[in-house]
Amino acid sequence: MTNNPAYEALARVLTEHSTKLKKGDHVLLDAHDTPESFVIALLRAVRKCGAFPFVQLHSGKIAREMALGISEQQASTILELDLARMKKMQAYICVRGSKNIAEMADVPQEKMNILSETLKPLSNYRVNKTRWVVLRWPTDSMAQQAHQSTEAFEEFFFRVCTLDYARMQPGMKALKDLMDRTDRVAIKGPGTDLRFSIKGIGSVMCGGEFNIPDGEVFSCPVKNSVEGEITFNAPTIYRGIGFENIHLVFAKGKIIKATSSDTKALNEILDTDPGARYIGEFSLGFNPHILDPMRDILFDEKIAGSFHFTPGQAYEIAGNKNKSAIHWDMVSIQRKDYGGGEIWFDDVLIRKDGLFTQPALRKLNPDQLLKTRK
């Protein structure tokens, strides 16, 4: 088999930087519609670290067919089997390809709820008890979403996924320190006037450890503190359904009104459980290579000059203890070309029109992250 330098470079990032594999680690490689050649590159990279790879392969079409007939009894058995295996793992690498991003669009919501609610303990264990990383795989479908040729998109994908994430560290550290001591947050922009507290929550830097591509620092609102309204200008796909122009209104932390291009489906998802109408994450994105939405959240939530606000489950770290079967990252871009906007921490302007204004944070602006090293 001919070696692919791009595959090998990405596999090194995932095994050496993201999951920091050690000798003797058990690693689950979870590959969804991913080329065998890249899975093999991952296997070899895992072995070079002295770790032991375990592989699970998925097909989107088969996953849809399973979901159409799922029952609570069957989902519980899947949880029992998969959770027992996950408890044997020290690390988890998930590569999610998608030949059709809407493959699950016609699966009834009650079936999707069975899967999301029953299998939530598996996701919780993986997130909280293993060293993990998740990434997409470039496909013709993704290139089409990004309005690029397949060749151009693949070049973009490997460039952004093998970014020198170490360059983000100084700016991320400054942003984390600021968020850790912040109480009041205010976000303003077209259709947005939002206020909440992050006092005592803490924050987490994301520089290639959990998602590839990466580039965010996240925190979480105090659960009952969110007030006001927000409009998201990035389209989103959740459970195979496309949404645009999502507008949420909050009172005492709860979403009391929600509209979008598909208001009925939006509210059905937000009614999954009581926690789905509270926010589980607040994050600022700053990856300089990602500028426009492509309906893929692992990319869109890192868009330079964006933030995301997430109905549903909170993380154990830097979280507010909100519990839900959903975790839906909704993205708003505040650069001038998307209408602008402001973010204030304790009455101090920290980002305007997508650019950080405070000296220590300016290192996260695109011109600084892309500056040629001397």
The domain spanning residue 147 has which CATH number?
Answer: 3.40.1830.10
- Are 238 and 135 within one domain? no
Please tell me the number of Cα atoms within 13 Å of 65 on its side-chain side.
5
- Are 208 and 337 within one domain? yes
- Are 155 and 170 within one domain? no
Residue 32 domain-assigned (yes or no)? yes
Please tell me the number of Cα atoms within 13 Å of 309 on its side-chain side.
33
Q: What is d(CA 27, CA 20) in angstroms, rounded to the nearest whole number?
A: 11
Q: Phi and psi for 90 in degrees, rounded to 5?
A: -95, -20
- Are 221 and 320 within one domain? yes
C-alpha torsion sign, points 8, 10, 14, 20: positive
Residue 374 domain-assigned (yes or no)? no
- Are 9 and 91 within one domain? yes
* Mean pLDDT taken over the chain: 94
Over 80: is that where the pLDDT of 74 sits? yes
Cα 162 to Cα 15, 17, 208, 209, 231: the distances in Å are 12, 10, 9, 12, 32
Residue 181 domain-assigned (yes or no)? yes
Compute the average pLDDT of residues 202-231. 94
Q: Which residue has better confidence, 211 or 238?
A: 238
Residue 195 domain-assigned (yes or no)? yes
What pLDDT shows up at residue 374? Answer: 41
Over 90: is that where the pLDDT of 177 sits? yes
Strand partners, 135: 95, 212
Q: Which residue has better confidence, 225 or 157?
A: 225
Compute the average pLDDT of residues 17-35. 95
Closest CA to 339 of 196, 236, 186, 191: 191
Compute the average pLDDT of residues 276-300. 94
C-alpha torsion sign, points 2, 289, 214, 169: positive
- Are 326 and 290 within one domain? yes
- Are 156 and 214 within one domain? no
- Are 123 and 222 within one domain? no
Any idea which of 52-56, 136-140, 269-273 has the lowest mean pLDDT? Answer: 136-140
Over 60: is that where the pLDDT of 70 sits? yes
What residue numbers bound the domain in which 68 lies? 5-161
Cα 308 to Cα 19, 21, 54, 217, 269: the distances in Å are 24, 30, 33, 11, 18
Compute the average pLDDT of residues 328-341. 98
Q: What is d(CA 313, CA 162) in angstroms, rounded to the nearest whole number?
A: 29
Tell me which of 100, 128, 161 is where a domain ends.
161
- Are 310 and 176 within one domain? yes
- Are 343 and 232 within one domain? yes
Q: How confident is the model at residue 102 (pLDDT cuts 50, 70, 90)?
A: confident
Looking at the 3D structure of the chain, how many domains does it have?
2
Tell me which of 107, 141, 161 is where a domain ends.
161
Q: What is d(CA 204, CA 217) in angstroms, rounded to the nearest whole number?
A: 6
Tell me which of 100, 130, 161 is where a domain ends.
161
* Highest mean pLDDT of the ranges 163-172, 192-201, 207-216: 192-201
What pLDDT shows up at residue 372? Answer: 54
Q: How confident is the model at residue 164 (pLDDT cuts 50, 70, 90)?
A: confident
What pLDDT shows up at residue 167? Answer: 85
Residue type, 224: N
- Is residue 337 within 8 Å of residue 287, measured between CB atoms? no
Residue 259 domain-assigned (yes or no)? yes
Compute the average pLDDT of residues 3-20. 92
Q: What is d(CA 172, CA 163) in angstroms, rounded to the nearest whole number?
A: 15
- Are 122 and 171 within one domain? no
- Are 152 and 224 within one domain? no
Compute the average pLDDT of residues 299-321. 96
Closest CA to 243 of 269, 258, 262, 268: 262
Compute the average pLDDT of residues 317-342. 97
Compute the average pLDDT of residues 30-35. 94
- Give the helix/strand (H/E) hosting 280: strand 279-285
Q: What is d(CA 298, CA 210) in angstroms, rounded to the nearest whole number?
A: 10
The count of other CB atoms within 10 Å of the CB of residue 54 is: 15
